[in-house]
Structure 1
């Protein structure tokens, strides 16, 4: 019965003409000036909070790759008077979910807690933010886990191809370096480095917060001040300079004894605040982002059976816009598959897309958007991301409007902007036939 209801819900959302009204967002500012976007949900006695600070793994100094990633893991491994075991025990006893994670551009915090444990959760959060311990035992344990992962990544084709792609696309730039610890960087990462990163990134001005739950604005204000109020005002991290991804005249081949070839391809994309971003979203769906509804899947997998998987994505980072795709195939089919990718890029740049493709893309993108908001945690994450991207509180309500405004001539113009040159960076790991490096 539950499965039937989920299917019905999905079908209703995908029907054209169904209006979707987003949740009511309240902007709450505490006495110390900390702002959070709140969606009140009194029917569920719990709270979900998502926070983001600018300054993720791209802030790692050369030779200290993985500093932010490991520091994020260690922020819940002891704080204040509680060592790692005591801190984790306190989280378990209160059924509190508290996690930190570092992406390229952001340090993120996720908190989930029932109302009767809310005060305890925010007390623990305050300690993690202002008094992380970075004790020797958890550092050694987390570094040992990171070393094992780094050794596995050395011989993982997916990791290999992505490392080489990013290093080539962003030479001498933070985006081109590893975001995870490496065997070379791990010995350089010590307690003082993790402490320095946390002091630099955890600041009030550098912070956005989304909250969903059974809580009033007045209650939230007090908790915001108690948990975030003692953070320094300013972050000392410097954002990497803006860069345009590089392309190469010939594919780069990393020879690897494997029956399959992993191929990553891409080039310059768009920043999130680019006026053409929503046009590029529709374009990407038609070209390679729409799964079985995309041209690449239809032409390369469905018609010819050449690949196990193929797809494209937009990656709007803070300092670079990247359009990126990937495929995996047998070595003997790699050249043919890559040729079809290039053909698809050239064709869409020259001809654009059809009216039916545009209508189908709009229907899917607008109809599936509400599925991103089916839990309190997902909504809290969306609220934080909206603030981080300067989208405004009306973004959820206006998303369908932005997509519906895309015209067929916009698609052709942006396709030419992105793909008309034919320039691509292509990296292959395997022993591909028919590809000259």
Structure 2
């Protein structure tokens, strides 16, 4: 969910000559069902399609004593219900041309459906989708099959240094916090998860209080209200899931190196930054556009790639979540250039934190972000992602309407202060995965 939201928000803005800063961008309708489920709806008749997304507070941060169970549960929803087998479900969607998908992040589990709006196709697709949401039965045969898929996925992760670096970065940054472990879990724990465990996780997390429904497409408001009740109105109210607040603080610059037989080293640099609710979200994301978010014109790209040829690509991003998410720089470089690439990157971060952007850089970033706004509305699916994030992270309904004005009003000082508040260049975590590199302070090496 967080990554989807970051993708569209970077594109936010619109030519101010076309739309006033505070004009309504999307006519978002919102209501709450009796069981606490939050529903967001945008009516759009341009295409005969309807997109549905259900976001549950059931991401990997809620795994508890069973790392990987959130992802495992989401994968199992369409593997059988009290009324249908996995083959039945696949056939019913295929017969009406509907597309079902699921994903799991650290914060949420998302279940999605795209269907044609003609009732001959839409009604059967929704009936199957509703059954999946409300009546999964976690059959043991399917559970064993999905378990093997997860175990294979874990093995696949370990074959890719970039993935190993990102997972190690989160682990070292968050340590024992729920954000720290691999969202897929680990092989030992996955092997021990039973269908009963899956059913229990579903019961605790797939309830009205934890649900955000996004509906976009070719149907009326009245039909959307009936649809939302059909989809999740019968889920028990339950209790709103919450995460423990982050209390950890980095007190020194740390580096971990993981040996990997590759010609290049994958590098991750960063620290814990902000929650999605932070008032500094906008100045940080606009500032990051200058530092490393807009890859081809960023400071990091110019210094690391263009001027020194140390990497093919380098980028930075904030990944805010329900609790504080990370700021992270990602790159790959030749093994013998790793130390230099890291030094140049850290120097660029330090300069930006201390001095902030130039007036020219800020004006260009504003134009890029505001000017890219129409791309955010290029499909029902992109709009669905937007309103899902607005609902899940409890943003105001006018968030899109006011965003352009807030971006346009930013000063150099606003961005500098935000970076100085949330990024400490002297206390960054660095993770490298590749052939051995020169040791730095507090380095540990894992085979």
TM-score exceeds 0.5: yes
Displacement of 1:39 = 1.4
How much does 1:248 deviate? 4.4
Q: 1:200 to 1:330 in 2, by over 3 A?
A: same
Alpha-carbon contact 1:243-1:319 (below 8 Å) kept: no
1:96 match: 98
Asked whether the 8 Å contact 1:270–1:277 carries over to 2, the reply is: yes
- Equivalent pair of 2:322/2:393 in contact (CA under 8 Å): no
For 2:420, the equivalent position in structure 1 comes to 416
Report the alpha carbon displacement of residue 243 of structure 1 after superposing the two structures with TM: 4.0
More relative contact order in 1 or in 2 (CA 8 Å, sep 6+)? 2
Structure 2 equivalent of residue 43 of structure 1: 46
Counterparts of 1:434 and 1:166 in 2: how far apart (Å)?
22
Aligned to 1:10: none
Give the alignment of 1:32-431 within 5 angstroms.
34-62=37-65, 64-115=66-117, 116=119, 117-235=121-239, 237-244=241-248, 246=250, 248-431=252-435
Residue 403 of structure 1: CA displacement?
0.9
**SS of residue matched to 1:132:** coil
After TM superposition, give the deviation of residue 32 of structure 1 in Å: 6.4
> Residue 146 of structure 2 aligns to a residue in which SS?
helix
CA drift at 1:306: 0.5
Q: CA deviation at 1:80?
A: 2.4
Within 1, Cα distance between the matches of 2:179 and 2:35?
34
Q: CA deviation at 1:35?
A: 4.1
Offset of 1:34 from its aligned partner? 4.6
C-alpha separation between the residues in 2 aligned to 1:415 and 1:36?
35
Relative to structure 2, which stretch is displaced further, 314-323 or 325-334? 314-323
Contact 2:274–2:320 (CA under 8 A) maintained in structure 1: yes
Query: Taking structure 1 as reference, are residues 188 and 248 closer, same or farther at Cα in structure 2, changes over 3 Å only?
Result: farther
Give, in angstroms, the shift of residue 46 of structure 1: 1.9
Are the structure 2 counterparts of residues 249 and 39 from structure 1 closer, same or farther at C-alpha, using a change threshold of 3 Å?
Answer: closer
Return 360-369 or 244-253, whichever deviates more: 244-253
CA spacing shift, 1:285–1:147, aligned 2, 3 Å: same
1:24 aligns with 2:27: yes
Q: 1:82 to 1:249 in 2, by over 3 A?
A: same
Q: How many residues align?
A: 425
Q: Distance in 2 between matches of 1:127 and 1:244?
A: 42
Preserved CA contact (<8 Å) 2:15 2:370? no
Counterparts of 2:245 and 2:167, CA distance in 1: 20
Cα distance in 2 for partners of 1:250, 1:181 equals 25
After TM superposition, give the deviation of residue 340 of structure 1 in Å: 0.4
Deviation at 1:260, TM superposition (A): 0.8
1:237 to partner: Cα distance:
4.0
CA distance in 2, matches of 1:111, 1:155: 32
Separation in 2 of the partners of 1:37 and 1:217? 11
Which segment drifts farther, 39-48 or 25-34? 25-34
Shift of 1:330: 0.3
Cα deviation, residue 398, structure 1: 1.5
State the distance in 2 between where 1:347 and 1:129 align.
50
> In structure 2, how many angstroms separate the alpha carbons of the residues matched to 1:250 and 1:379?
40
In structure 2, what is the Cα distance between the partners aligned to 1:289 and 1:110? 28
TM-score for the superposition, normalised by structure 2: 0.90
TM-score with structure 1 length normalisation? 0.92
For 2:51 and 2:216, the matched residues in 1 are separated by 5
Q: Which runs of 5+ in 1 are unaligned?
A: 1-12
RMSD: 2.1
Q: Is the 8 A contact 2:53 2:214 kept in 1?
A: yes
Q: Secondary structure at the match of 1:75?
A: helix
Say which SS state the counterpart of residue 73 (structure 2) adopts. Answer: helix
Aligned equivalent of 1:9: none
Deviation at 1:70, TM superposition (A): 1.4
The 3 A distance-change label for structure 1 pair 233 and 328 is same
* Distance in 2 separating the partners of 1:86 and 1:19: 48
